[in-house]
Each structure stands twice: as structure tokens, then as C-alpha cells.
Amino acid sequence: MSYHVKPRKAKKLQTKFIFVSGGVISSVGKGVTTSSLAMLLQSRGYTVAPVKCDAYLNVDAGTIRPQEHGEVFVTDDKWETDQDIGNYERFLNTDLSGANYVTNGQLYQSIIQKERNFEYGGEDVEVALHVPEEIIHRLENAARKRKADFVICEIGGTVGEYQNILFIEANRIMKYRDMRDVMHIHVGYLPTPPSIGEMKSKPVQNSVKQLIASGIQPDFLIGRAEKALDDRRKETLAWTTNIPKENIIAAPNVDSIYRVPLNFDQQGLTDKILKQFGMPSKKNDLKDWKKLVSTISSVRNQKKEYKIAVVGKYFETGAYQIGDVYISVVEAIKHASWANKAKVNMTWISSMDVEKFGAKKMLEEFDGIVVPGGFGSRGTEGIIETIKYARTHKIPYLGLCYGMQLATIEFARNVAKIRNANTTEVDEKTKHAVIHIMPEQEKLLLNKEYGATMRLGAWDCSIKRGTHTEKAYIQGKWINKTGSTKISERHRHRYEFNNEYRERLEEAGLVIAGTTPDGQLVEIIELADHPYFVASQFHPEFKSRPLAPHPLFLGFMQAVVKLNK
């Protein structure tokens, strides 16, 4: 095997590359660190392309069980990505793409494809050389795509794992080629064992040593801990890791992840990074962000709280997983609550419990009900019961994807009196398939083509005037009172509203509040004689941002507040 030291291809771009790794424990906060850094550099007038690198061999997250992976976050350009991409979008208030998401599966897939196409021209294709090259190629591609001044590459997992070592190797090679253009930030966890009562830095020292053994001397260290690191800890860490003391940044627990960038900025992180790269601050605009964070605090201190039930099926694998499976839904509810200056108390309810104990017992105390997306038949009857409860008790309801399909079934069964109405996803032989598989999807499934084949990503939808939906989108400033009612939303589904039942359901009072521009596919349903009962085939949660909450969530929260003042 021979190593060639090739010049970096993206020279013209003048992009700076920041790698972020994690140490000691997983879920240490690399995603929030990366998002925060990206937002801070953006606030100084720079364009940033964050990239998440995941070590799994799945090409994308679409085929991974939700309980195992957490949420699958969908981009406009039809990628089923990691939930961190959602964090990046929320912090940057911008749309990202598949270029911001790299997995080992993607790397190996394209390397093997290139090899088969003889694109390596007879070279011996090596893991240790060609995989890092492919990583570098993708990071440069992400830079080019956004014309980015900075690429921030978040390396999934923790240092010391075999799986992500080639991402660290890509970092080493890039640094070797362009010393001044590459930086490494390590995020490490400092435990405070209750029996000792003192914050311990040894695990972080060891994870930095592992990095150094891999050829990376980190430039900054983010110390995640319950409390802010003190001077003593910083001194110890500095002389054991070679990281200047002033580059050791404290990341204590905070009331909201959206406060993290402000903490970093206060410790001079943004200035220090820009200085190290020799770049000026082009502006300094954190005004809106600061306002947001102060709203979050004041809402948190309110006495009155509104109870929201999120009813789904992926909840019973252990409480700690819950938030991750629907992280964008949770965030979207929070964004809308802050915009409405209303404190929300969210409760997860397993639809199996609704089946067991009945809707009244499980839902009585709630001011609003959300049913997020889902797949398969388990727990669906409990969700249908939930929806019936929301409809008949006039509790504000927001249905997302499966939450729209099951709301259609509930309406068909209980209002339009179409007995046994169902979706073919649950009952293939149902006599009344008010929701059925899209014809092109059926072919894909017969061929076992599961990966990235759903109806994915951004599709246009035309909204019907005079509906709750229209009002919400006008309030959210997505459309105006006159002119086009076209919006674009993100999708991930195989089944759809069956048009054969459209007339019958409309006659019974169901309002079709949005369709594809050709009118063919039902995208939003709602009820007229209900304070707020809106359900969409798409996933509005993927487009909700703290500084730009999503209209349908805003409308939902507004109804919750109005009814329960």
C-alpha cells in the first residue's frame, strides 16, 4: 500500500474545518455543541455547514428501528437523516440537505461502486486511505454546497471506538495538509460521583490521550458537567492535555439547550475560534436569540401550565428513550408554547395504555392532544380512541402523518358511519380502506425496496381558504390573505387518503383543508365545528424553529391557551 499526499481539492473555497468529537460517555452534547458553534459563527456573519458523521453501516437512518436510533429527521431533499440535523436546522434557522449527513454505509457504498466502475484506475483500494479520502471529499462537498466559510464536522460516538476512527483519521490527514485550516474541539464529560462529591477530570484526560494517540491534539475542550468547571479543574486539564487553559470551556447543565450558545459566547469561544483562524468578526448579532432565551426562562417560571398529551406507540421501551423518538415534535411544541408565552407540561401516553384503561381515564386531564407519526398496527386502536376523545370533547388536536391517517379512520367509522373503516397498513383485507397504500409504493414493497423509497422530503401543498389551517398559516406568515396558498412541507409515508371516500367523508363534514396542487392527494384534514382539530399527512415538526415556530403548532397552542384561560 502506498500513501500519496494529495493537495486538498477545495482550495478555492477557503473553508475552515472544525471537527467535534466526544469523550467519556455517549450523548455528551456534541450535537448541541456543534449546533451552538454553528449558530455563533453564523451570528458573526459567516456561512456554516454542519455535518453529522455517523458510524453505522446503514446508508441512512430510515431503516433503523426508532427505539434504537431515535427520530429520523427528514430534509427537503428527501434524506432520512439523524436527529442532529434537526438540531442544526433549529439553531441555524435554515434548511440543510443530505450533504450534511455522512454515514459509514454511504462511504462504503460509494467506494465499492467506484471500485466496480474502475474509477480507482487499478489502484489497490484501502480502508485506511480511501475511506478517509471519501470522508474528506464529502466534507468538501458540504462546504461547496453551502459556499461555507466553516464546516463543522460532528463525529458520532466517542473517541476510542473502532467504528469512528476513520473520521478521526480524516481529521488528521486534513490537518497534516492544511495546518491552519483545521481545528479540533473535544467535548468531554466530567462526572461528580455523589459518594465523592467532587468533579472528576481523569476520564476526560484519558479520552484526550486517546485522541492524541490517534494523531489529534485538540485545540479546545468543552467540559460537560453538572456545574461549571472551576479553575482548579481547568488547570489540571490544561497541563494534562496540552490545551491552553483559556481554551477549556465550561458547559454546565442549563434550563434549555438554547442557552448553550450564549454560555459559550460569554466565555469568548467564538472570538477565540475566529482569532485562531485569523478571521475577523463581520457582525455580532445575538439579539433575537437572547430574547428567545429570556422568554424561555420567564415562561418556565409561570405558575399556570397547559397539559399536553402526546399519544403514540414508541414509548414503552424505557422512559429515557421517549424524548428522542419524537424530538422534533417536542421541540415544535416548545417553540409554539414560547411564542404563545404559555408554559407547557408534556406527558407521553402509550396508546396501548389507552386500549387498556380507556381514553377517559388516560386523557381527561389534558388541554391538548398530539398524535405523532408511526408505523404498523400495534396500538392503533388506542390512538383511534384518543382521537375520538379529542373530537367529541372538543380538545385541541394536532395529528401528524399517522395522526392524520388515523383521524380519517376515526371520522369515517364514527361520523360517516363507515363500519370497520381502516388503513391497509393495519388490515390488508379491510372492506373500507379509507387509507390505502400509494400504488407506486406497493410495487416497491413487492420488490423489497425499503430503503429511502417512501414518499419523502419536500412537496407542495395548496391550502383551502376559510379553514383553521389557512388562518394558522396566515398568522405564521407563510401565506397571505390574498395570493398564493401554496406551502412546502416535508413528508415520510407510504400510505395515503383514499380518494374513493373523499366525497362521502366531505359530505359527513370532514374538511379537506389542503391537497397537492393538482388536487389529487389529501394533505390536510380538519373539522369546522371544533376549536382546533387539524391533521396533516406531512410532518410540520421538521420545519419548526425556535425563532420561527411552525404555524400548525402555533395554531394548536393558541387554541389550547384560549380554551383553558
The CA-based diameter of the chain, rounded to the nearest angstrom, is: 75
Q: State yes or no: residue 277 binds ligand GLN (CB under 6 A).
A: no
Contact call for residue 234 and ligand GLN (CB under 6 A) = no
CB 64 → ligand GLN: shortest distance, Å? Answer: 14
β-bridge mates for residue 491, sequence order: 457
Active-site residue identified among 425, 496, 523, 541: 541
CB of 492 or CB of 530, closer to ligand GLN: 492
Say which of 432, 493, 530, 539 is annotated catalytic. 539
Number of amino acids touching ligand GLN (CB under 6 A)? 11
Residue of 181, 179, 184 lying closest to 168 (CA atoms): 184
| Shortest CB 403 distance to ligand GLN, Å | 7
C-beta of 492: minimal distance to ligand GLN in Å?
5
Given 146, 313, 493, 543, the residue binding ligand GLN (CB under 6 A): 493
Q: Give the contacts of 139 (CB within 8 A, at least 6 positions apart).
A: 17, 51, 102, 151, 153, 170, 174
Candidates 16, 233, 432, 492; binder of ligand GLN (CB under 6 A) is 492
Q: Pick from 402, 459, 473, 556 the residue near ligand GLN by CB under 6 A.
A: 402
Distance of CA 101 to the CA centre of its chain: 12
Instruction: Record the cell numbers describing residue 270, joined without a space.
Output: 467564538
Interacting residues with ligand GLN between 13 and 72 (CB under 6 A): none
**CA–CA distance, 136 with 488 (Å, rounded to integer):** 33
Active-site residue flag, 401: yes
Catalytic-residue membership of 461: no
Of the pair 171, 380, the CB lying nearest ligand GLN is at: 380
- Per CB under 6 A, does 189 bind ligand GLN? no
**Distance, C-alpha 403 to centroid of its chain:** 19
CB 477 within 8 A of CB 503: no
Measured in Å, how far apart are the chain's first and last C-alpha atoms? 72
Q: Does 399 bind ligand GLN (CB under 6 A)?
A: no
The single residue among 263, 375, 508, 564 that binds ligand GLN, judged by CB under 6 A, is 375
Q: Toward ligand GLN, which CB reaches closer, 235 or 449?
A: 449
Tell the smallest beta-carbon distance from residue 222 to ligand GLN (Å).
34
Q: What share of the chain is helix, strand, coil (3-state, %, to 5)?
A: 45, 20, 35
With respect to ligand GLN, which residue has the nearer C-beta, 144 or 494?
A: 494
Task: Please state, in angstroms and rounded to a whole number, the distance separating the CA atoms of residues 299 and 305.
Answer: 9
| Candidates 140, 401, 432, 496; catalytic one | 401
Decide whether 264 or 538 has the Cβ nearer to ligand GLN.
Answer: 538
Q: Tell whether residue 311 is a contact of ligand GLN (CB under 6 A).
A: no
- In the complex with ligand GLN, the residue whose CB is nearer, 493 or 543, is 493
Stretch that binds ligand GLN, among 232-240, 294-302, 368-376, 463-471 (CB under 6 A): 368-376
Classify residue 378 as exposed, middle or buried by CB count within 10 Å of its CB (0-12, 13-18, 19+): middle
Site membership for ligand GLN, residue 223 (CB under 6 A): no
Told to judge if 335 belongs to the known catalytic residues of this protein, a careful annotator would answer no
Contacts of 463 (CB under 8 A, 6+ apart): 469, 470, 473, 479, 485, 486, 487, 513, 514, 524
Give kind and range of the element (H or E) at residue 512.
strand 510-515
User: Within its chain, how far is the Cα of 147 from the centroid?
Assistant: 23
Residues found in the chain? 565
Write down the least CB distance from residue 505 to ligand GLN, Å.
Answer: 18
As measured in angstroms, the least distance from the Cβ of 220 to ligand GLN is 39
489 binds ligand GLN (CB under 6 A): no
Q: Rounded distance, CA 508 to CA 408, Å?
A: 12
Quick one: which segment of 229-237, 329-337, 369-377, 410-418 binds ligand GLN (CB under 6 A)? 369-377
Minimum CB distance to ligand GLN, residue 495 (Å): 3
CA angle 484/486/492 to nearest 5° reads 180
Q: Which residue is nearest to ligand GLN (CB)?
A: 373
Taking the least distance from each CB to ligand GLN, the nearer of 411 and 495 is: 495
Residue selected from 114, 145, 209, 494 as contacting ligand GLN according to rule CB under 6 A: 494
Minimum distance, C-beta of residue 388 to ligand GLN, in the bound complex (Å)? 19
Residue 91: name the closest of 477, 547, 458 by CA.
Answer: 547
Distance set, CA 201 to CA 192, 205, 250, 337 (Å): 9, 6, 13, 38
Cα 452 from Cα 78, distance rounded (Å): 8
Which 3-state string (H, E, C) describes 200-226? CCHHHHHHHHHHHHCCCCCCEEEEEEC
Nearest to 46 by CA among 103, 94, 114, 8: 94
Q: Of 20-28, 127-135, 398-406, 520-528, which part binds ligand GLN (CB under 6 A)?
A: 398-406
Contact in structure between 207 and 158 (CB atoms under 8 Å): yes
Closest distance to ligand GLN from the beta carbon of 298 (Å) = 34
- Only one of the segments 79-87, 201-209, 400-408, 544-552 lies at the binding site for ligand GLN (rule: CB under 6 A); that segment is 400-408
Least separation in angstroms between residue 216's CB and ligand GLN is 39
Which phi-psi region, left, alpha or beta, contains residue 318 (left: φ > 0; alpha: ψ -120 to 50)?
A: left
* Cβ proximity of 419 and 432 under 8 Å: yes
Give whichever of 190 and 404 is closer to ligand GLN, judged by the CB atom.
404
519: helix, strand or coil:
coil
- Binds ligand GLN (CB under 6 A): choice among 373, 457, 540, 549: 373
**495 lies in the binding site for ligand GLN (CB under 6 A):** yes
State which residue, 15 or 441, has the beta carbon closest to ligand GLN.
Answer: 441
Binding mask 95-124 for ligand GLN (x = CB under 6 A): ------------------------------
Smallest distance from the beta carbon of 455 to ligand GLN, in angstroms?
Answer: 8
Instruction: Note the residues at the interface with ligand GLN (CB under 6 A).
Output: 373-375, 401-402, 405, 425, 492-495
Catalytic residues: 401, 539, 541
